[in-house]
Structure formats: C-alpha cells, structure tokens
Amino acid sequence: MIEWASAHGETVMTKLHSTITQLGKFRALSLQPPPPSDRGRLRDMEDFGSNPGDLRARYYIPKHLGGSNRSRHAPLVVVLHGCTQNADAYDHGSGWSQLADELGFALLFPEQRRANNPNRCFNWFAPGDSARDAGEPLSIRQMIATMVAAHPIDEARIYVTGLSAGGAMTSIMLATYPEVFAGGAIIAGLPYGAAASVPEAFARMRGEGYPDDAVLGALVRSASDHAGPWPTISVWHGDADRTVHASNAERIIAQWQAIHGRDASDVETRIADGAHQRRWRDADGRVAIEAYEVIGMGHGTPLAVSGPRACGAASPYMLDAGISSTRHIAAFWGLAEEEAAMPVDFQAGGESDPIARVRDSIAFPLRKAATQARQASGRSNVGAIIEQALRRAGIMR
C-alpha cells in the first residue's frame, strides 16, 4: 500500500510538473509582442446578439462578393485564431482575406478578449463555453446569423476553421451546430469533448487520457439533436508539434469517422506539396474526411509564403512549411472553383453599412440543446490546487 501510494504520488507530481511547465510557456508567450498585422482589412461588427461569451466580432467583405453570376450568394468562412493571437494577426498570417479577394467569399473572425482569457485562448475546455446555445459557441452562432442577415451569404456554404485553441473551438462549433456548417478544418487542434477542466486540457494536449474512439463519436452525436447530413472535415497537424501532440489529429479523425461511418482501412493516401495526405469517402463517393500530416512541422498553421501560390506571411505559429493550408482547405470546400465576383458598393459605417441596417432586427431560430455540457466530476485535491494556481496566473477564468 505504501509502495502504491509512493508511485501514485510520483505520477501526480509528474503531471503537476508538466502542467506547471506548460503554464510557464503560456505566460512567456503572453509577454511577447503580437506579430505584425494588416489592421486595415477587418471591420468591427457591433450588436450582433446577446453575446454570452463576450467575444469581439471582426469581418471582411471583399470588393467582389459572390461571383460573376449575380444570382449566386457567396460562401462564408469563419476563422478562429489561436492563443496569443488576434483576428488581424491571424488573417495577416494565414492569408484568408487575400484569398477572399481572389475568390469572392465573406469572412468572419470571432476574437477572444483578454478579459475572458489573458492569453486570448478560446475557452474550449470550459463546460460553459463548449455547449450549444451557451457561452462562446452561441456568440459565434449569433455572429454568423448577423452576417447572413446583412450580406448575400449562401447558408448552404458556411465553413469554419481554426488553429490550436481555435481548432478546438472549431471542433465545438462543428459538433454543437452541425446543421450550420458544410465543412470544417481543424489545425493543430483537439476533438470535441476532449476536456472539461484546465488539468484535463493539458493532459489531452499531451495526447493523454482519451476515452475510446467510439465514445468520441458519441459525444458529437449527443451535442445536438442533428441527425445529418454532417459537415466534411479537414484535419491538419505537424508531426513535430510539441504543444498539441500529433496524436490529437488521430482522435479528431476517429471522432468523425464514427460520425460518417467510415473505417480506418477505407483510406486513400498520397503526398501533396510534401505533406502526407489521407482521405476517406462517404457512401456517395464524396470525400468526407481528409487529413494532412506536415512532416517536420511544429505547432502552427502551415503556409507557403513564396512562389506562384503564395498566401499569407510567416510569424509565430504561422509557419512556412511549403504548403498553404489556406488554399488547400478552400479547394477542399470547393471555394477555389468559384467564379470572380459581383461588385459590392456598400462601405462600413454610417447608413450604408449593412451590419448597421440589421442591428436589433435579427431573430435567432436556434434550437435547444439535446444535452447539457459535460460537467467535471470527481476532481482530486491536486486538480483543485492546480486550477486555483492557473486562475491566479490568468490562464483560466
């Protein structure tokens, strides 16, 4: 009994040390200056709903929106930044607004506030911010509804993507509002339902403590009363990621294989721009899931910043890997096949701003969640001590 207690104590202390080490990394990152950004491209969206997650909303409408065919509405891409980033910096690095100018789609950039999380991480590990019709997911859903009401958006072509904590929140949006999205792309992220506390979050980031893959699929099915069809999924991860272990990509893939009814053996593989790509098709032959393993890449969004298909700019967590995830994701969603777009004459601000015209006039026909957020239970005293320390350090609310 004494030997077991000693071994158990060593295990707990090892995990505590790992958590504190991870905390130190985040605190150091929070002291770094933000990367350069093109701050003139994104506009502020005001009064988009009750905003229970207290997020900021930014958006971008290119001069040509929707294609040369005036009868067609435009796709909308929702982009979620990672920790220590903001919307402007992530757009500047990823090149999404550059691609929107080329292809004619709209962009929405939900942005975390320091008051919610000092490191600007979306709170994907908090039960109140990982459920349908609550917290940050509901704020993002309200932003989407406002964009649809204010602009010629095709509701059948709404997509979401994000990096790291933004990737984890992308998983949450796809699981809790699957009827909203035609597709999603998760970069260096985690599956839905991965954690319900900060200690669990750090463990999952290390790839530890996951339930069976079948349970991960069941979490998505219980997150709403949606019965299909389901969004297509694109998963991106560097095999040298030391912040979010690459095994998390496999858990995301397995979670959505369970949803799409695909088996791991049904895979197609190839090398694409130096990355290892896998694809799984659904019963209709559509590619339902794709995954890119970027060889030698650490934690961040893979970019190609030179050459004829350059898109974005390198900066912390925006990594020149010789492959543009932005362009590949857009092609996976079919956006790259869009025609050049019709002009849009309105400008931000004043009476001509379409956002201003629809303020206070939008109904949000959002269904009640079939289940509530999974609650953390049975936390040990050590877990409580860790959480208290993290709150004092500003990592969690």
- Known active-site residue 164: yes
Query: Which amino acid, residue 387?
Result: E
Instruction: Give the sign of the dihedral formed by CA 294, CA 296, CA 298, CA 301.
Output: negative
Query: Directed axis angle between helix 213-222 and helix 247-260, to 10°?
Result: 60
pLDDT digits (tens, 9 = 90+) for 36-58: 444 569 999 999 999 999 999 99
Please compute the mean of the pLDDT values over residues 189-197 and round it to a whole number: 97
| Cα(198)–Cα(141) distance, integer angstroms | 24
Pairing type for strands 64-65 and 342-343 reads: antiparallel
Residue 109's beta-bridge partner residues?
A: 58
Taking residues 353-357, report their average pLDDT: 40
d(CA 34, CA 318): 12
| Mean pLDDT, residues 362-385 | 34
Is 167's pLDDT higher than 60?
yes
Per residue in 216-256, pLDDT (tens digit) is 999 999 999 999 999 999 999 999 999 999 999 999 999 99
For tokens 């998983």, the residue is: 171
| Of 75, 79, 147, the residue nearest 112 (C-alpha) | 79
Grade residue 336 by pLDDT with cuts at 50, 70 and 90.
confident
Going by pLDDT thresholds of 50, 70 and 90, the confidence category of residue 354 is: very low
> Would you state the pLDDT for residue 397?
54
CA dist., res. 100 & res. 90, Å (int): 14
Q: What is the pLDDT of residue 6?
A: 37
Query: What's the confidence (pLDDT) of residue 340?
Result: 32
Average pLDDT over residues 72-90: 96
**What is the pTM (predicted TM-score) of this model?**
0.79
Q: Residue 363 above 70 pLDDT?
A: no
Distance CA(82)–CA(267), nearest Å, equals 30
Percent of the chain with pLDDT over 70: 73
pLDDT at 365 over 80: no
For residue 73, what is the DSSP state?
P
What is the DSSP secondary-structure string of 343-383? E----SSSTT-HHHHHTT-----PPPPSSPPPPP-S--HHH
Confidence bin at 274 (pLDDT 50/70/90): confident
Between 359 and 36, residue with greater pLDDT: 36
For residues 333-351, average pLDDT: 47
Q: Name the residue range of residue 142's domain.
A: 2-393
Cα dihedral value 266, 212, 164, 77, nearest 10: 50
- For residue 326, pLDDT over 50 is answered with yes
Strands 232-238, 106-111: parallel, antiparallel or unpaired by DSSP?
unpaired
The answer to whether residues 303 and 94 touch, using CB atoms and an 8 Å cutoff, is yes
Are the C-beta atoms of 162 and 82 separated by less than 8 Å? Answer: yes
Nearest to 328 by CA among 26, 52, 96, 50: 96
> Mean pLDDT throughout 283-306?
96
pLDDT band at 301 (very low <50, low <70, confident <90, very high): very high
- Assess whether pLDDT exceeds 70 at residue 175: yes
Catalytic residue (choose from 164, 171, 224, 315): 164
pLDDT of res. 135: 98
What is the biggest distance separating any 2 CA atoms in the chain, rounded to whole angstroms? 76
Residue 68: predicted pLDDT = 53
Number of domains comprising the chain: 1
Looking at residue 264, its pLDDT comes to: 76
- Measure the N-to-C terminal CA separation of the chain; round to a whole number of Å: 38
CATH number, domain of 265, equals 3.40.50.1820
Mean of pLDDT over the chain: 82
